Structure 1
């Protein structure tokens, strides 16, 4: 098996990595998360054993870097209110006219939000979403399905 040059991978998927990084980490951390993902991918690239789904591999690394960034931010932010430590980090979405869709996505439970973002922003199949989340493809489908059902109900209530 012969891996393509790393630059070919960057050229083909840099938008996907950047888009997912911004969707998961927000505009303040998106660039840093994308850069970290590319750095980790470059370091791991010689050990890749299959070229079958390099995009999914890259987006999994990006997802993990975004989660690491959220964890690091929670450790470094000083909290005046100890009760705020149990709150999930808020994910900022790309700015687009969406009738409040991103606000409703932000309100989803964290695992559902991550699954929806990986599926629709990252354009991953359920197997790749499951790999990124450390779960099974069936659970990935369930998380996305539950999230979409919640989003549909929220949209109907707004009408």
Structure 2
């Protein structure tokens, strides 16, 4: 039996109502949510993704579910996904730079420093790179290296000490 006393958005006849009717009834609301999250340019993609996701979950939706709230939640998540995908897209440029910016690559600025860094023992090299190049805190470095934060701090300090002692050693006559 279909309940006609339901508020819009509250459907007690989820199993009976065809999905096409759900799309027709809530499509405009979902599109407004998508536009609000990602803008007009990507809203239609997010809208489509929302209803594709909803179609998969619709048969398992409880009979007393608030379909509109369920769809808005899905729309919000799909719109965020579409926005993230847009942010990852390559941006075309007129000309490819001939060489990378030297500030971005320590090896381009100072190949001797890179060579000296490669000579360090692995734990020291990794601790120096993770902390001084990537900017990670010692707690995260410890998790990566499989030791304690104090051991990671010590490895980075020893690595810097070794670099100071042996850096540019090859240039000396």
Relative to the length of structure 2, the TM-score reads 0.42
Superposition TM-score, scaled by structure 1 size: 0.46
Higher fraction of helix: 1
RCO greater where, 1 or 2, for CA within 8 Å and sep 6 or more? 1
